[in-house]
Structure 1
Amino acid sequence: MTRTSPRSGYDVVVLGGGVAGCVLAARLSEDPDRAVCLVEAGPDYGPRPEDWPERIRDARALPRDDVWERHTASHRIRARVLGGSSCVNGAWNTWGSHADHEEWTRAGGERWSAAALEPYRLRAVARMGLRTVPDRELSAWASAALTAAAGLGHEEVDMGAPGRPGYGRPLLNAVDGLRRNAAFAYLDPATRSRPNLTVLGGALVDRLSVRGGLVRGAHVVLDGERVTLTADTYVLASGTFGSPGVLLRSGIGPAAHLAENGIRCEADLPGVGANLSDQPGVFVPLAPTDALNRSLAAKEAAGELYVSRMLVRAASEHCPPGAWDLHLLPTAGPPLFGGLPPGRYEAGVSAFLMKPVSRGHVRLRSADPLEPPEIVPAFLTDPAGRDLAVLRAGLRQVEELASALRPLATPTDGPPAHGLSDAGLRERVGTYWHPVGTCAMGPAQDPRAVVDGQGAVHGIPGLRVADASVLPTVPAANTQLPVLAVAEMLADTLRR
């Protein structure tokens, strides 16, 4: 594990070493006259990929060792390691629709438009070394799903770029089964060698010291000792669950909630921890044929079995023209949860609701930074029932796709998923692991807004948030590539 001693003061302290934090630290330290400190609660395994644990480098699995909570509800899973979610996710990168940018532009201004973010998308694609899924990584199931999607009339599209509904393969931050996480891409040996960059692994952010409307320091627990880091600018990049937690412990948030936890209110911002949005979904299991099981076993024996390698962007009747509000995801391979006998695999198709209306929240249980927060995703709870309606539309499309895949897998017993009761759907709902929104951007007069379009916290000069938590709505995409691009853009606002 890499350990660097902190100095007394910096120009910028970045609190959180996940995807956004790695981008910010790398870009801001390009200026040799700017002293930058990156703080990460989890381990930093160093600048050389070969020194990292194999479990983190393996792109065929979803590692669950370097996380905040083990054996917890699936929606609570979040990485605790330098590189953040890019170390534990599926290494997929897709892009959203024009409707996403219209929502973001209304909240944050023109820098959030599709045209303005495009150079940052391209910059992130290049730095991460993203590539399209190669043919050799397609299983018989994935190949059949591509053919089935075309047969159902879907158009083939580039999943990593602005576009239309359709089917295709995602961009990957992985090559030959080896994951290239954000720490590898942005904090490579050349970047780490900069004398103006300090990387602190194993450093838990407790809170900010806020007095008189200004941040006076960041309190961090390093090797069991409390350390105060000072800077001209503090940038929170602790993620959708972590960033609101730091703000709340610092006295920035809803006054009543702060009082409940014995925290003095320094800035009454009701939006902190509110507006939690994640993408729920329902998996429809299918029974693999013996032929599919044999094919998957052979692929696994060759070390080339990937559970999912294609998806369909689909639209419900509630979706704006030219956009999409659903992902249909065919999967086949070892089960995500539990196990099966050797030579047998799980197959099915999921429908994920990409543009949910329902909103949950993140709150403190106490002022202790080691106490896990209260996380309520509130899936499928909007009073008008729109989320349930869109999900049912997606499950009807799942049934069509599954029917086209019948030579390889057949429906299991039971009623079709789209015909389940509301309670039945809620019982089966899972998550795509793409939470956003708990420090949402918006104008200062909006009581729900926490930051402006540059990530600056309303009413607290010198404090910014620059991660997925600032997005007021979740994009119709896997969030890694959008967060990379947003962090690139917000880094530019800090460099000027």
Structure 2
Amino acid sequence: MTNPPALPGFDTVVLGGGVAGCVLAARLSENPDRSVCLVEAGPDHGPRQESWPQKVLNARALPRDDVWERHGAFHRVRARILGGSSCIKGAWNTWGSHADHAEWTRAGGDRWSATALEPYRLRAVERMALRTVPDRELSLWASSALLAARDLGHEEVDMAAPGRPGYGRPLLNAVDGLRFNAAFAYLDPAVRSRPNLTILSDVLVDRLDVRAGRVRGARAVLDGRPVTLTADTYVLTCGTFGSPTVLLRSGVGPAAHLAEHGIRCAADLPGVGGNLSDQPGVFVPLSPTRELNAALAAKEAEGRLYVSRMLIRAASEYCPDGAWDLHLLPTAGPPLVGALPPGQYEAGVSAFLMKPASRGQVRLRSADPEAPPEITPAFLTDPGGRDLAVVRSGLEKVRELASALKSLAVPGDGAPAHTLPDDELRGRVGTYWHPVGTCAMGPADDPQAVVDGQGAVHGVAGLRVADASILPTVPAANTQLPVLAVAEMLAQTLGT
């Protein structure tokens, strides 16, 4: 259809109902004089928690029903449901280091400093009802790992606040095994009842109509038919994989790539889809003892078995003073992939590289909005080999921690992970699922920058991006809490 029918116009259309989109829609609609429309490609199960699927509510598992690609590669997992990744991830919330904020401040200005973001961090913690892991949820493995971390000389720290390397428990958006997602926190019944807020679920965003340097409409598919949404301001919150693909289909991105797919270039921004940064890691499996298997089985019978409930922030020899570039994550419980006989469990420790130098990219396979994008994570490919060296450093620390836990689990046969050849080590890489950077912020004279420090897209009026894709570097943290805080900050910027 050449001219799809237009829905009633809005002041602001928020395209993407994930974590950031829920924050933006809730905060912007606090102004009764501003009409806001939130658009989500996946389902909305309503304001009452009891009407949501049990799989989404179960914080002991990682549900994979509401994702874009059910059987895609491990690094491609992305939510397709109102509430976004807060519905399918591990419900963990941690915070990064001051070094992260220094990187962001250089790209986006003082509003990105640790001090400036602190009130928004606190606001997000309160709204999401985040809480510390209670003692009753610690398995024998987790409680032993906490003691081992202390005995190895690590300092206990608050994982969800600015700080130092050390060990501790994350904050959770879950209570007694029930996941409390961003849709519950920000789009509660009172918010949903606002007459100036419209929520459209199961609506696929195709592209933006960009003409003469301004967005004139957002084209989407509603009930199988094309429609156009119009607004004064359009905010992309489709995530690190989704936001760049919408921009590319809209003709905003590298001109040569757009030409390959027959897309008219409306704004030549080479950085769109580049600079992809995620946190790779290597899992070191251990064989649980009979004692550990029995303890885990008893915990599971109580309904309180969680695979992971603590972590260690660690610094390699390549890390700046006072910061950390590794997460050491002990886990024990049912395997993430596959199954084991009753009473038997998987145990091990992962080393995750939190500050990778390697950069991947997101590109279109075609201009069809239903076609999945081409995602190249490029883990451990930096020319200098630093990422691989940091992972090896992390695996040496894993060996120390595993040795301290050897009464509960022992290493299997074979060479220690940190001594494996480069190719074999790369073959064992997984991900922490924290991609950022594909619409990176930076000054207008930076050819790789896509947005400024307020999320405004360079060269395109009326368009902002306000999700993890604008972070130029990944924080040394799980990204949910940082994205919540950033969305809180950007919502205030948009609202003034």
Structure 1 length-normalised TM? 0.99
Q: How does 1:111-150 map to 2 (within 5 A)?
A: 111-150=111-150
Question: 1:61, CA displacement in angstroms?
Answer: 0.3
Question: 1:7, CA displacement in angstroms?
Answer: 4.3
Letter in 1 for 2:32: P
Say if 2:210 and 2:216, in contact at 8 Å, map to a contact too. Answer: yes
Question: 1:6, CA displacement in angstroms?
Answer: 8.7
Aligned counterpart, 2:44:
44
Q: How does 1:478-489 map to 2 (within 5 A)?
A: 478-489=478-489
Aligned counterpart, 1:205:
205
Say if 1:23 and 1:487, in contact at 8 Å, map to a contact too. Answer: yes
Q: How does 1:312-327 map to 2 (within 5 A)?
A: 312-327=312-327
Secondary structure in 1 matching 2:306: coil
Q: How does 1:431-442 map to 2 (within 5 A)?
A: 431-442=431-442
Aligned counterpart, 2:68:
68
Q: What do residues 317-361 of structure 1 show as CA deviations (whole Å, max 9, x unaligned)?
A: 110100000000000000001111111000000000000000000
Is 1:30 the equivalent of 2:30?
Answer: yes
Is 1:335 the equivalent of 2:335?
Answer: yes
CA distance in 2, matches of 1:441, 1:484: 17
Aligned counterpart, 2:300:
300
Q: What do residues 405-442 of structure 1 show as CA deviations (whole Å, max 9, x unaligned)?
A: 00100011110000011101110000000000000000
Aligned residue-pair number: 492
Secondary structure in 1 matching 2:243: helix
Letter in 2 for 1:454: Q
Secondary structure in 2 matching 1:359: coil
Aligned counterpart, 2:230:
230
Say if 1:6 and 1:200, in contact at 8 Å, map to a contact too. Answer: no
CA distance in 2, matches of 1:163, 1:36: 37
Letter in 1 for 2:268: D
Aligned counterpart, 2:398:
398
Secondary structure in 2 matching 1:47: coil
Say if 1:217 and 1:228, in contact at 8 Å, map to a contact too. Answer: yes
Q: What do residues 426-472 of structure 1 show as CA deviations (whole Å, max 9, x unaligned)?
A: 10000000000000000000000000000000001110000000000
Q: 1:167 to 1:6 in 2, by over 3 A?
A: farther
Say if 2:7 and 2:227, in contact at 8 Å, map to a contact too. Answer: no
Q: What do residues 258-312 of structure 1 show as CA deviations (whole Å, max 9, x unaligned)?
A: 0001100000000000000000000000000011001100101110000000000
Q: How does 1:399-438 map to 2 (within 5 A)?
A: 399-438=399-438
Q: How does 1:73-472 map to 2 (within 5 A)?
A: 73-472=73-472
Structure 2 length-normalised TM? 0.99
Letter in 2 for 1:103: E
CA distance in 1, matches of 2:110, 2:425: 38
CA distance in 2, matches of 1:436, 1:43: 24
CA distance in 1, matches of 2:269, 2:71: 33
CA distance in 2, matches of 1:213, 1:102: 32
Question: 1:71, CA displacement in angstroms?
Answer: 1.4
Question: 1:15, CA displacement in angstroms?
Answer: 0.2
Structure 1: gaps spanning 5 or more residues: none
Letter in 2 for 1:455: G
Q: What do residues 122-180 of structure 1 show as CA deviations (whole Å, max 9, x unaligned)?
A: 00000000000000000000000000000000000000100000000000000000000
Letter in 1 for 2:88: V
CA distance in 2, matches of 1:491, 1:171: 23
Runs of 4+ deviating beyond 3 Å:
none
Q: What do residues 43-77 of structure 1 show as CA deviations (whole Å, max 9, x unaligned)?
A: 00001111100000000000000000011111000
CA distance in 2, matches of 1:54, 1:321: 44
CA distance in 1, matches of 2:37, 2:215: 16
Secondary structure in 2 matching 1:450: coil
CA distance in 1, matches of 2:6, 2:195: 12
Secondary structure in 1 matching 2:423: helix
Letter in 1 for 2:477: A
Question: 1:8, CA displacement in angstroms?
Answer: 1.1
CA distance in 1, matches of 2:443, 2:422: 36
Structure 2: gaps spanning 5 or more residues: none
CA distance in 1, matches of 2:177, 2:484: 21
Secondary structure in 1 matching 2:96: coil
CA distance in 1, matches of 2:261, 2:131: 47
CA distance in 2, matches of 1:168, 1:8: 50
Say if 1:6 and 1:198, in contact at 8 Å, map to a contact too. Answer: no
Identical counterparts, % of pairs? 81
Secondary structure in 2 matching 1:78: coil
Letter in 1 for 2:475: P
Secondary structure in 2 matching 1:445: coil
Q: 1:285 to 1:225 in 2, by over 3 A?
A: same
Letter in 2 for 1:233: T
Q: CA RMSD in A?
A: 0.8
Say if 2:6 and 2:228, in contact at 8 Å, map to a contact too. Answer: no
Secondary structure in 2 matching 1:204: strand
Letter in 2 for 1:41: A
CA distance in 2, matches of 1:360, 1:422: 19
CA distance in 2, matches of 1:338, 1:280: 21
CA distance in 2, matches of 1:454, 1:492: 10
CA distance in 1, matches of 2:183, 2:203: 16
